[in-house]
Structure 1
């Protein structure tokens, strides 16, 4: 006869397994192809776990109960925001496997849950790859603006200047930082595009194949230069010459060669426009840097303005830290606290430096 503690724990497991099965089915409803099949398979597995706990409870199964708050939150995320954030949260949740240390759980269920964590990790990685890089740039750019301009505003306030001067300094920091970020992003994306273009085979390189000496096999050198071994390069070059000879024999002519040196080992990375990247960086940084100076735009005194700015920035830092945590598959709460600590720590240091500078000048 199970104890009251066991019954409560098993009922909680039952509710969580039922909710997780529904969660995976909800995510699968918005997918297609292989991802849908994987999510439905996970839902079936959770349903088997649900049946295990229902059978174990027997006559003590009781009325259906609510799952854990964390599971309900993930269900809300699945309904409202789709799979990227939800799978990132599920990756963390599946990694915290309560069955490992529970003697009432079978070893098979414990192993299933650990494997689920790896399956979800793979699905979450797919989502992160598909997620636009501009979204990540938005989070990190806004965070940079928050921390740097808060530190600047609090630091200049520590020197004992007026609200007008604090506002002027904050606006200057916003513009200087945003322009610097935009310029850096423009140079970075432009350089990346140039490097990729330099590594991309010439689009008309395949037109040289008919003029090459088949016996000398210069084409094999191209493949070897691109990383193939000597035998593999020779085989691929021979296959290319054979294909070309066959096409000539049947009178086939075409502009592009799908297997030739023009497309082999081409860089697959897609780089956006440097102007778009620069504009996005400017706006995201400026958006974050605007928050610390909002109180001073409305004429707040230095002390009151700093207090309001710290409160606003703290909320924003915890939000961006939580988002970073979710996207990286880590607990969002701990990442939010870390982000807050870093931001406020930087502000505290610059405030002390501002006080020291103001005292020295005075």
Structure 2
């Protein structure tokens, strides 16, 4: 059977695949250098799999493999981020890259390669999920706080401007909205975290089981009720009560000799520090978003030009925050950014129309 002679278009496509496989393998190796244990092994295994794909395209290219092609812009960006940061953002981008592999529809790629890419997406999704879980709380607070500041203060500025008041009134209203919103966010977060800690603290066992146990009536041993209420089986509860009352030392079923109660109290300074940290973070996130709509007024602009510039600045920031959310969730950054933009501009437009209505009524 005569050897297949590839067309120029095929050579170009194979070279691109080869460059992308090399780039992806490098990304996984760079990420592995910043990990250890199981995650490092998983990333190195992914790099080896990309190496097998690389060899497939080398075999097809043969003598045409000598000329190197640059990887796609997406993979070059991935490589840059992996070398500099190695964060969950890189894994989220890698997940999206794996999900868009063309091998499933390319007849020159094997079925095994297409299956590999599908599995790689799930592997990277699993690795990224660990980082997303670690990031979820603080990231939610950051996005929520900044977006709340952006949208609420832009709406306030738009509504005030629509009523026809002077630019200095709009500016003072925006500053007041910034301070009021940021303080409210900070206070709310402080109360939320502190209350959560207090609720958890109220659920911690006390030392009463140790102090009261020696005086309990053996025939009416209510200590068993304590352990039943904590979720133990009756057998385990009776066993633990007997141990607490010093009746015997058990050498029977080891699973019944449970870990002693932990009576360590949480550090009050740590609790306060956590609450204050959450409050200050919420204050700063909200303020960082709320200051954007009043920037034109801070620099002396007024009228329609100031409002248009405020909308443009807020729109850009909304697109960025929406895009970041999209990247972290493995979805399209563009569509997530546009969704944030539509929500923010919709709220501002509604408030502007209300301001026009109130201005007409008052006028």
Structure 1 counterpart of 2:171, from 144, 167, 175: 167
Q: How many residues align?
A: 348
Provide the rounded CA distance (Å) in 2 between the counterparts of 1:109 and 1:125.
24
Q: For 1:22-101, what aligned pairs fall within 5 Å after superposition?
A: 22-101=26-105
Tell me the distance in 2 between the aligned counterparts of 1:32 and 1:222. Answer: 43
Match of 1:329 in 2: 330
Q: 1:66 to 1:182 in 2, by over 3 A?
A: same
Provide the residue aligned with 1:339 in structure 2: 340
Contact 1:24–1:39 (CA<8 Å) still a contact in 2?
Answer: yes
Give the deviation of 1:150 after TM superposition.
Answer: 0.7
CA distance in 2, matches of 1:322, 1:180: 27
> 5+ residue gaps in structure 1?
251-256, 264-269
The answer to whether the Cα contact below 8 Å between 2:224 and 2:241 also exists between their aligned partners in 1 is no
* Equivalent position of 1:266 in the other structure: none
Counterpart check, 1:276 vs 2:277:
yes
1:106-148 deviation per Cα after TM superposition (whole angstroms, max 9, x unaligned)? 1211111111111111111111233384344223211110111
Please give the alpha-carbon distance, in whole angstroms, between the structure 2 residues aligned to 1:6 and 1:220.
77
- Cα distance in 2, alignment partners of residues 213 and 13 from structure 1: 79
Q: What stretches of structure 2 of length at least 5 have no aligned partner?
A: 252-256, 264-269
Structure 1 segment 1-362 matched on structure 2, within 5 A: 1=4, 2-131=6-135, 133-202=137-206, 205=209, 224-227=228-231, 230=233, 234=235, 238=239, 259-262=259-262, 273-362=274-363
Cα deviation, 1:321-340, whole Å, max 9, x if unaligned, reads 12222222322222112111
CA offsets per residue over residues 46-84 of structure 1, 9 Å max, x none?
111111221122233241211111111111111222221
- Whole-angstrom distance in 1 between the partners of 2:304 and 2:138: 36
* 1:234 to partner: Cα distance: 2.7
Distance 2:247 2:25 in 1: 55
Instruction: Check the 8 A contact 1:142/1:289 in 2, yes or no.
Output: yes
Contact between 1:143 and 1:288, CA under 8 Å: does it hold in 2? yes
The alignment yields a C-alpha RMSD, in angstroms, of 3.2
Q: 1:278 to 1:326 in 2, by over 3 A?
A: same
Distance 1:64 1:261, change over 3 A: same
Aligned mates of 2:124, 2:110 — CA distance in 1 = 21
